Amino acid sequence: MSAETLAHISNNLVYSAMLVYAGAMYCYAAELAFGSPSRRRRVPEQVEARALVTAGASVGTGDVGRAAVVPPAEDDRVWAESRRARAGRLGRTAVALTVLAFALHLGAVVTRGISAGRPPWGNMYEFSVAGSLAVTGAFLVLLTRKDIRYLGTFVVLPVLLTLGLAVSVLYTESAQLVPALKSVWLLIHVTAAMIASGIFTIAFAQSICFLVQEHRERVPAELRGPSFMDRMPTAAVLDRSAYKMHAFAYPIWTFAIIAGAIWAENAWGRYWGWDPKETWAFITWMVYTAYLHARSTAGWKGRRAAYLAMLGYSTFLFNYLVVNIWLVGFHSYAGVK
Amino acid sequence: MVHTLSTAPSRDRPPEPRPPAMRPLELARWGWRQLTSMRTALVLLFLLALAAVPGSLVPQRSISAARAAQFAQQHPHLDPWYQRFSLYAVYSSPWFAAIYLLLFISLVGCVLPRSRLHLAASLARPPRAPRHLDRLPAHVAVPVSGTVAEVLDRARAALRGRRFRVDVADDYVAAEKGYLRETGNLLFHLALLLLLLSVALGHLFGYKANVLLVEGTSFSNTVSTYDTWTPGALADETKLAPFTVTLEHLAVRFQRGGQQSGAPRDFQGALRYTTDPSARPRSYDLRVNHPLVVDGVKVFLLGNGYAPVITVRDSHGQVVLKGPVPFLTQDGNFTSNGVVKVPGASPQLGFQGFFLPTAAFDPTRGPVSVYPGLELPRLVLTGWRGDLGIDGGAAQSVYTLDTSGMSQVLTSTGKPFARSLAQGQTMTLPTGETVTFNGVRRWASLAVARDPGTTPALLSAVLALAGLMLSLFVRRRRVWVRVSDEGGRTLLEVAGLARAEGDEGLPDEVRELAGSIAGTDPPELDDRDDDASDRTGAPRER
Ligand code: HEM
């Protein structure tokens, strides 16, 4: 098959993946919306107690056994049952669709790579397509180990937005690389950066869920109206998993920066030159460092740490969107004209 | 550490005592405590991130002096302020340095006491068992077979086998593992300090230089041959490695057709070099990402361009200039500008013009190049006669023509004389001199750098990464095993405490240990109604 045909197939796979992602997102959102509000509702005192202590058991399941469920009226119960069943079906469909979309998306990246004859993250378009694949990949891998289906909407939405941006604004024809980009270290650097950003994206979604949940939990449980947030873990659990996710991504990001420095040294004779791209990678790193420190300081857990995490993610987005396109540097390899 | 988390209404608090006047020593101690507090560290980390922002928005001289100068010209009102706050050189500015130096002082002040504590903890025995093991976050009690001494023995062996440090007392075993967590944390912070020192080492003793080398020509590693030369404060210019490099040939390939037509795809320079004047020449294939290393000095291929080969004869047919003249690349299609100076002619001659590797005529921009490869090369020149102004001794760029002492060569109708030459063509000025465009050679722009801090910086970074992984992923846990004789039956109690946030494996480890000591399946944890869900016991306050 010719390079052009493959590139064409790759483009079509991206569009198909987007379609399936959209379906998956709809199902995730519907699951949250239809989710039985009673699933996590407990006797008020216990909810209070549990909100105060940090639930250490694994997300979503460990403490269900001991949680007393508010006994609903009989017809309420039947109604809730049917809703719960529907929500479960929706959730499973959503995951199946995500797997399908991931497969199409992966196919798009692979065919693009074969078409160009190199790893397909050499310009902004390819970086976006491959980077969003890393986000879905990280989500699916984590899903096999933890019940984080509640995050589905917040993971698939950014993936879809990124792909949309890629095909509409950033699109670049499949081609070879400019000489500066032909380096193993670049490959390692970009791969690490994509994996780290995939995990940061999920961590960011968790931090947002935490902020919303924390806000909700300030109202006593018996006064809260039903909401899709009932389907989510408690704020304490969200806070803790967000921390672990950030702590997982941080060393990978650190490694990505080191690999980038090695590449820069090889290409230009200086391992660090403060060009805008490097500078913003550094800023992101600094903000996440502040986040990790904040977590170990009394009074900075929870809300304020979550704000720092969001700031960290914004600096990452700034690097990806604004710096790549508007601020030129040595790195200007975006290929966007 | 004692935390006073008072729940009393604030009006019951005693009024804030007025700080007594501090003596200098006290003041210094107070200042040091403030500086090394975690809150200050947080503020400084955040400030450093913030301080890095302007350098990415304002053109930096270190990246492109030309763009910085252009910005200054376009913003005459901002410029003095930007100058005052070093905004064109943020990363070497005093205020940027102040932030990171404070941060590193704070880091040292933080790490030193922690190292002392950690050393003491590493040498000490694991702490004694608390009286009530069942108050710990993970606790198991099961009856077992065997005497107390036998069971304690088994417990010790089981804990040793799991890499715990173990201390055996009369009726219990105390154990702790995961010291590497704190070791890693200290190593990480220390390695950052080393990284800073390595960067400083490079800046002080290293040097950077640039040189433009036309095919067939050479340069040697001496200050005078370089176009730009940026030494570190302590670099010794008399002891540069005595190598010489010749660029024999430069091969360049560009993308043809498609959306990215003209994008560079490949360029490589065939070099011959000698490590010192007496050494045998060797060859090297210089590519981007593939620098030449001689005696710790690296030579990098940065860019390339064209040098038209020109012959100038005076009105008597005498050759007054012959050779390649590098023109500077202006755009992605290698429209190049340049200047030809002929000091040997009398009167002196100067030419300004441009070189187009693939010439085309754009209705608005005039003649431009539309492709970077040599498809339709054209050299366009206008001439000047008079005094080049280079005899006075003042340094002058070879890429600009000072026309203040010259007059432009005009046609008979009084217009500036300009001609476009194809390869091999000659133009004759109205005054009789001739210019021949013989051919084209390529030039490479090379960066030459010595940075003795590179290897130490890399090592520090690797150390930092290793320390970081240890500090984030090693689990520090304490376990106590108590064995008691309860009226003829031996009772085994295992309890644990995790010291890291998010350590969710502790309950399982406690159960698994108890099972292994008892010789049974892992028993269930004791369940309590108080904060049992906080099984990890990770400290929530510090
Ligand atoms: C360039 C500056 C710094 C960087 C990049 C940095 C980075 C980090 C990172 C990534 C961690 C996380 C490791 C973990 O959670 O176990 C950490 C932990 C820590 N840092 Fe820093 N740090 C810096 C400066 C400082 C300073 C100035 C202080 C002291 C004032 C400090 C004190 C600590 C402490 C005490 C911990 C351990 C927290 C814990 O036990 O959870 N760091 N640092």
Mean pLDDT of successive 10-residue segments in chain B (542 residues)? 34 50 80 82 92 89 81 88 89 92 92 92 88 88 89 92 90 92 94 94 91 92 87 86 92 78 80 88 88 90 91 91 91 88 88 91 83 90 87 70 86 87 92 92 92 93 94 90 88 88 81 88 70 40 32
A81-120 residue pLDDT tens: 776 777 788 888 999 999 999 999 999 999 998 888 888 8
β partners of residue A74: none
Where does the pLDDT of residue A140 fall: very low under 50, low under 70, confident under 90, or very high at 90 and above?
very high
Q: Which residues are CB-neighbours of A188 under 8 A, at least 6 positions away?
A: A259
Q: Which residues are CB-neighbours of B449 under 8 A, at least 6 positions away?
A: A269, A270, B206, B207, B208, B209, B297, B298, B300
For B266, nearest residue in chain A (alpha carbons)? A179
CA distance A166 to chain B (A): 16
In the DSSP assignment, the letter for residue B290 is B
Q: Would you say the ipTM is above 0.85? A: no
Q: In angstroms, rounded to a whole number, what is the distance separating the alpha carbons of residues A181 and B245? A: 25
pLDDT of residue A306: 92
Assigned token pair, B48:
């450093």
- Judged against a pLDDT cut of 60, whether residue A236 lies above it is answered with yes
pLDDT of residue B540: 36
Tell how far the Cα of B107 is from the centroid of ligand 1, in angstroms.
8
B504 closest CB neighbour out of A56, A178, A263: A56
Q: In angstroms, rounded to a whole number, what is the distance separating the alpha carbons of residues A303 and A301? A: 6
CA distances from B318 to B114, B315, B321, B341, B437 (A): 81, 7, 9, 16, 16
- Higher per-residue confidence, A300 vs B469: B469
pLDDT of residue A327: 64
CA distances from A47 to A54, A60, A64, B312, B425 (A): 12, 14, 12, 92, 91
Tell how far the Cα of A293 is from the centroid of ligand 1, in angstroms.
6
Beta strands in A19-112 (DSSP E): none
In the DSSP assignment, the letter for residue B532 is T
Q: In angstroms, rounded to a whole number, what is the distance separating the alpha carbons of residues A226 and B360? A: 70
Cβ–ligand 1 distance for B213 under 6 Å, the answer no
Whether chain B has a CB inside 8 Å of the CB on A73: the answer is no
pLDDT of residue B392: 64
* Nearest CA owner, ligand 1 atom 32: B110
pLDDT of residue A38: 41
User: Are B226 and B209 spatial neighbours (Cβ–Cβ below 8 Å)?
Assistant: yes
Assigned token pair, B427:
């133009």
pLDDT of residue A58: 36
State the pTM of this model. Answer: 0.80
Which atom of ligand 1 has the smallest separation from the CA of A250?
A: 10
User: Are B212 and B443 spatial neighbours (Cβ–Cβ below 8 Å)?
Assistant: yes
User: Tokens 């406690």 — which residue?
Assistant: B510
pLDDT of residue B51: 93
Whether chain A has a CB inside 8 Å of the CB on B60: the answer is yes
Largest CA distance in chain B: 127
How far does Cα B317 stand from its chain's mean position?
56
B533 closest CB neighbour out of A56, A178, A280: A56
Chain B residues near residue A58 by CB distance under 8 angstroms = 504
Residue A253 carries which side chain, given as an amino acid letter? W
A161-193 residue pLDDT tens: 999 988 887 887 776 666 667 778 888 998 899
Whether chain B has a CB inside 8 Å of the CB on A64: the answer is no
β partners of residue B250: B269
pLDDT of residue A180: 65
Measured torsion, CA atoms of residues A112, A117, A120, A124, in degrees rounded to the nearest 10 = -90
In terms of Cα–Cα distance, which of A255, A274, A254 is closest to A264?
A274
* Nearest CA owner, ligand 1 atom 7: A289
User: Are A3 and A115 spatial neighbours (Cβ–Cβ below 8 Å)?
Assistant: yes
Chain A residues near residue B45 by CB distance under 8 angstroms = 286, 289-290, 293
pLDDT of residue A154: 87
pLDDT of residue B480: 94
User: Are A192 and A256 spatial neighbours (Cβ–Cβ below 8 Å)?
Assistant: yes
